[in-house]
Amino acid sequence: MPGKRAARPPRRQRGLKVGTAVVLGVLLTVVVVWFAFARLGGKSNDTADHPSNSATSAEQASRSPSPTATSKASAGSSATSPAFRTCAATVKRADMVVAAASQGVKDWNIHVQSRTDMLEGRMSVSTMDAMWKRTRLAGPADQKRFHAALDSYQPTSACTKLGNLPKVDKTSANHCATRYAAASEAVDAAKAAMADWKSHLDNMAAFAAGKMTPTEAQTRWVEAWRNAPPHIDDYERARRALDKAPACTLG
């Protein structure tokens, strides 16, 4: 009727409508949340079960050495092979032998040269005697030093076979072979010069002990004095050649 308020539904019906709306709203919210979660969960599981190609490639790359690293490893393995190590160690010991002979050959040269200088008027007899005494007293230490180094040295064929190694660095192989040849020659020259010096030291000791007559001692000394210079010169020449030879290194 115009002018009158519309009739309101009963309180119970209004409560049912409100309750129904709330329930529908909650159900709708649950569905939306579940659907969103399902999509996110599906993506996460898919990624975990099936990694992307880029991730797989990165992982494989991290596990596989690069070509450069492989080539370096190959070069390093040849440079540090038993033959290379043997050669380098032998060359080092040969260098030590030559160095250990240096002072002994020097003392022997002074001993010999003193007589030459005295005979040619460049040195007095008293000065010659002083030179002889000093070098004679130093002689045993010279021999001990030299033979200690010589005992640790053994020639090897390894240095001459480095070029046959697979993937060997040719420059390193040539350097080691060259230095070994120079060192071997210097060791031989050192042995000859130091043998002369030892022989004369033994003769002087025998004479001092009364085991040799003055005439015999003088005869042997003059013979040693004449034969000494070639061996001394050979040592000095070989030592200079060794100083100029390339180094033998593993790296």
User: φ, ψ for residue 97 (rounded to 5)?
Assistant: -65, -45
**Chain center to CA of 48:** 47
Q: By CB neighbour count within 10 A (0-12 exposed, 13-18 middle, 19+ buried), where does 200 fall?
A: buried
pLDDT of res. 80: 67
**CB 234, CB 187: distance < 8 Å:** no
Q: By CB neighbour count within 10 A (0-12 exposed, 13-18 middle, 19+ buried), where does 164 fall?
A: exposed
- The domain ranges of the chain are 10-44, 75-244
Q: Residues 231-250: pLDDT tens digits?
A: 999 999 999 999 999 999 87
pLDDT of res. 165: 77
Report the C-alpha gap between 130 and 107 in whole angstroms.
13
SS3 category, 172 = helix
Best CA proximity match to 101, nearest among 210, 4, 193: 193
- Confidence class of residue 251 from pLDDT cuts 50, 70 and 90? low
- Confidence class of residue 170 from pLDDT cuts 50, 70 and 90? confident
Q: Residues 131-166: pLDDT tens digits?
A: 999 999 999 999 999 999 999 999 999 998 887 777
Q: Higher model confidence: residue 99 or residue 7?
A: 99
pLDDT of res. 79: 54
Angle of CA points 170, 176, 180, to nearest 5°: 145
Report the C-alpha gap between 35 and 9 in whole angstroms.
37
Look at residue 208 and tell me whether its pLDDT is greater than 90.
yes
Q: By CB neighbour count within 10 A (0-12 exposed, 13-18 middle, 19+ buried), where does 139 fall?
A: buried
- Residue 237: Cβ within 10 Å count: 13
Instruction: Count Cα atoms within 13 angstroms, Cβ side, for 36.
Output: 6
Report the C-alpha gap between 183 and 190 in whole angstroms.
10
**What is the percent of the chain where pLDDT is above 70?**
68
Q: Residues 61-103: pLDDT tens digits?
A: 344 444 333 334 334 445 568 888 999 999 999 999 999 999 9
